[in-house]
Amino acid sequence: MQIQIIQQFLADNQIDAWFIYDFRGNNPVLSQLLPGKRWTTRRVGLVVPARGKPMLAVHRIDAPQFQIPHCDVAVYLTWQQWRDWLLTHLGGGKTVAMEYSPGGDLPAVSIADAGIVDHVRSLGARVVSSADLMQLCVARWSPEARAAHDRASRLVDAIKDEAFDLIRARLRDGQHVDERQVQQHILSRFAAEGLDPADPPIVAVNAHSADPHFEVSPTNPAQITRGDWVLIDLWARWPGEEHIFSDITWVAFAGDRVPEAHQRAFEAVRSARDAALTLAQDAWKTRTPVAGFQLDRAAQDVFRSAGYEQFLIHRTGHSLSPGPKIHGLGVNIDDFETHDTRRLLPGLGFTLEPAVYLPNQFGCRLEINVYVDEQTGPVVTSGVQREIVLV
């Protein structure tokens, strides 16, 4: 637990304590602050005060799992004891940060349920959002995570190339090739390299690529033939929640000449991606704070100018961070689904994956990974697609 960083943030922002509440493992922030596998069945509360030692409350049933150095552990039995502990550490007019987002504006932050927020307020506390604390303490990459991500990214990029090579070779030789065969090839390569994808990659042909979360049919996958459009979205990391996913999307055309509609869409998406990246890098150079919503807005402006605004159905990017899921706990590049005011801080990572989806025709999405290096600012950690792959 990064106690000094947490307490400095609390002091700088006139917050008395950070209260992390968990029930049956529902708060990934707690699992990141207190590393180690635990299976809890009762309420757990961690209070990090602006000054002094962190305090942890656990039920006696779960207590053997919590041997936490530099932390006072209180074991409770009854609901009255639980409430007494909360009153002792959170009562008295304190300002308390919790995993809460006013109005539910940032769903990724809205982890604490309304009931526990209500109860903390009933103790006389003023509850504020821990959104920036989450970024600072659980979303940033360690040097080891950065190095592991870079290694995974090189492998994921290479496996993506192999997937397109497979399609190209089978079409050249007149052999059957379909979405599932390519998907299974990618999964087999991940397994051979020891990478964890968490879920199968997306291999989507033609109209299937207009569904951003398309799932390949195990029994009736689409065949890939000459004249087809192919989108591949693949992701993987080294096993373990301390590691960061490499998450990329590329597109290809099975033929020698890309249709005009596909080329125009590709160029718009490429320009939108580059506009968001340029804004992030220019802001770093001028030491100008920049938030996730601003990058998304830059991408949307490109689509609006190109006449594709009606074909947008999701944000420009999501957080990449340690944790249980590919969508991380830091800032999202979003002014579409939410208005993400969290800033891009050194040590954070995210994707840029602008896309347009033409219903019943095709979709085009280009996805890269970006890390905010503490010395050089935002750098791309994955391959960058500049032209449509021909297979």
Of the listed ranges 1-10, 38-47, 98-107, 118-127, the one predicted with least confidence: 1-10
**What are the tens digits of pLDDT across the range 309-333?**
999 999 999 999 998 889 999 999 9
Q: Dig out the tokens for 370 from the structure.
A: 């970006």
Residue 40 to residue 26: CA distance in whole angstroms: 10
Instruction: Supply the pLDDT for residue 69.
Output: 82
Mean pLDDT of 352-356: 99
Instruction: Supply the pLDDT for residue 1.
Output: 65
Task: Check whether 191 has a pLDDT greater than 80.
Answer: yes
The sheet with strand 368-373 has its strands ordered as: 319-320, 349-352, 368-373, 377-380
Instruction: Supply the pLDDT for residue 32.
Output: 85
Mean pLDDT of 107-114: 94
Contact 368, 382 (CB under 8 A): yes
Mean pLDDT of 237-262: 97
Average pLDDT for the chain: 96
Mean pLDDT of 5-21: 96
Give the domains, in start order, of the chain with CATH numbers. 3-139 (3.40.350.10), 143-390 (3.90.230.10)
pTM, to two decimals: 0.90
Query: Euclidean distance between the first and final Cα of the chain, in Å?
Result: 49
Instruction: Supply the pLDDT for residue 190.
Output: 98
**What are the tens digits of pLDDT across the range 134-155?**
999 999 999 999 999 999 999 9
Alpha carbon separation from 195 to 148, 348, 349 (Å, rounded): 11, 22, 19
Our measurement of the distance from residue 136's CA atom to the centroid of its chain's CA atoms, rounded to an integer in Å, reads 15
How much of the chain exceeds pLDDT 90, in percent?
A: 92
Q: Please identify which residue in the block is written with the tokens 């950065």.
A: 146
Confidence of residue 35 (pLDDT cuts 50, 70, 90): confident
Confidence of residue 227 (pLDDT cuts 50, 70, 90): very high
Q: Please identify which residue in the block is written with the tokens 């700088």.
A: 12
How much of the chain exceeds pLDDT 70, in percent?
A: 100
Contact 60, 75 (CB under 8 A): yes
Mean pLDDT of 362-380: 98
Confidence of residue 2 (pLDDT cuts 50, 70, 90): confident
Residue 172 to residue 165: CA distance in whole angstroms: 10
Contact 375, 357 (CB under 8 A): no
Instruction: Supply the pLDDT for residue 34.
Output: 87
Task: Check whether 95 has a pLDDT greater than 80.
Answer: yes
